[in-house]
Amino acid sequence: MIPIKSFSERRRYLASQMQKGVAIIPTAPEQVRNQDGHYPYRFDSYFYYLTGFGEPEAVAVIVAGGDEGSSKHILFCRDKDLEREIWEGFRYGPEAARETFDFDETYPTSKLDEILPKLMKDQPTVYCALGHDREWDARVIGWVNQTRQQARSGLAAPAGIYDIRLLLDEMRLFKSSEELHVMRRAAAISSGAHRRAMQKTRPGMNEYEVEAELLHEFRRYGAQAPAYNSIVAGGANACVLHYVENNARLNDGDLLLIDAGCELDGYAADITRTFPVNGTFSAVQRDVYQLVLAAQAAAISAVQPGYPWDAPHEAALRVLAQGFIDFGLCHGSIDTVLQSEDYKRFYMHRTGHWLGLDVHDVGEYKRNGAWRLLQPGMTLTVEPGCYVRPADNVPEHFWNIGVRIEDDVLVMETGCEVLTAAAPKMVTEIEELMQHRKDR
Ligand code: GLY
Ligand code: MN
Ligand code: MN
């Protein structure tokens, strides 16, 4: 767990980046699933990043730019309610939350409408994620208007609204050693889950049975949930990029593509592995697999500080384009295939994304029109693939082969660390592991 003092340090750092003003950061609302049932609760990542507080109906407020750069940190949260706690479990309540989460002041959430207009008085700027949630926007603007109505008494209302995400995204992009500790653990649990899937898969099983093995491993080691909907895609289903039905039979001779990672204490892992259902790659499956693996190796070699964000993608594309030409899937030179984007018939997504509290994490990819340069502390995925759908101009033995190999990497002072290296991906490693699996 990340120590509480780190959350208050983040708030102080955020305040130091703000001009004088009030930042308002609400957590996510609970979502009704049906009738009186809710989806499992997941806090808002920005809110959690600044507070470490996991309860719903909470709002963090930071008043910045006071004397000598000091800032005041306020938390609004649910009241203690012993009756409700019998049904729904523990809630901190303002008093205990102030102590435990290191806030200067705490109030019940029911007091937001009373206190926020007061906090906005004589503040030039409101910092919030305007545009994220219409209802919330309307509330914030309501408080600004309320403050404005008191202008006759000589008080000024905020004149500017600044998107706080511009500051927070940049902070979240660089992971601290404490965050990396959690991410390494999430990566290790998820790698173990992929290993387990390889060991458990047999022809004739259903995709959902393999999904169950992944979930078993996530929960068994304390991960709270999958970080995103797991993709367990046998055979042709691997060519559906966001396949989530996970309910088809796994056939002897097919490949199985699994894209699954856990969320641990808010942080995501994101791993894809592709392996043969029967434990042995066919010749053509192996060729495609080795091509994607080579593309991934080239991309990982391009994860270096000072390299542009796009370098891993460009490196993967060159390897894939040459492979598609060698396989007779594309024609011409690498440069013509890249220029015409003919490769997109078989590789239509990009090679990675930032990773962190959100699986597709926040952070700019471009600055002033140019790809951003990689810097130590950034975490991203490297996930090339090849997906061959049946088509007249495609040799039939490639049909329905879908391969993706995805790892999570951390940019280091030199090169990078592969956080998910424990998930097997060499052909020999996978075949060996699967051939020595014990019958259930
Ligand atoms: N699992 C989502 C992704 O790979 O981007
Ligand atoms: Mn990914
Ligand atoms: Mn993925």
pLDDT band at 153 (very low <50, low <70, confident <90, very high): confident
pLDDT at 440 over 60: no
Q: List the residue whose alpha carbon is closest to atom 5 of ligand 1.
A: 360
Distance 413 CA to ligand 1 centre (A): 26
Q: Packing angle between helix 4-17 and helix 165-173, nearest 10 degrees?
A: 130
Q: In this predicted structure, what is the pLDDT of residue 315?
A: 98
pTM of the entire predicted model: 0.96
pLDDT at 59 over 60: yes
Structure confidence by residue, pLDDT tens digits, 313-328: 999 999 999 999 999 9
Separation between Cα atoms, residue 56 and residue 76, nearest integer Å: 10
The SS3 assignment for 423 reads coil
- Ordered by start, the domain boundaries in the chain are 4-171, 174-439
Is the CB of 129 within 6 Å of ligand 1?
no
**Which residue, among 233, 261, 231, has the nearest Cα to 355 in the 3D structure?**
261
Phi, psi of 199 (to 5 degrees): -70, -30
Structure confidence by residue, pLDDT tens digits, 103-134: 999 999 999 999 999 999 999 999 999 999 99
> What CATH superfamily is the domain 174-439?
Creatinase/methionine aminopeptidase superfamily (3.90.230.10)
Give the pairing of strands 267-268 and 370-371. unpaired
Measured from the CA of 259, which atom of ligand 1 is nearest? 1
Structure confidence by residue, pLDDT tens digits, 260-309: 999 999 999 999 999 999 999 999 999 999 999 999 999 999 999 999 99
> What CATH superfamily is the domain 4-171?
Creatinase/prolidase N-terminal domain (3.40.350.10)
Which residues are known to be catalytic?
36, 242, 259, 270, 349, 353, 360, 383, 387, 404, 406
Q: In this predicted structure, what is the pLDDT of residue 438?
A: 65
Distance 256 CA to ligand 3 centre (A): 14
Does 4-171 match 174-439 in CATH topology?
no
Distance 425 CA to ligand 3 centre (A): 15
Is the CB of 259 within 6 Å of ligand 1?
yes
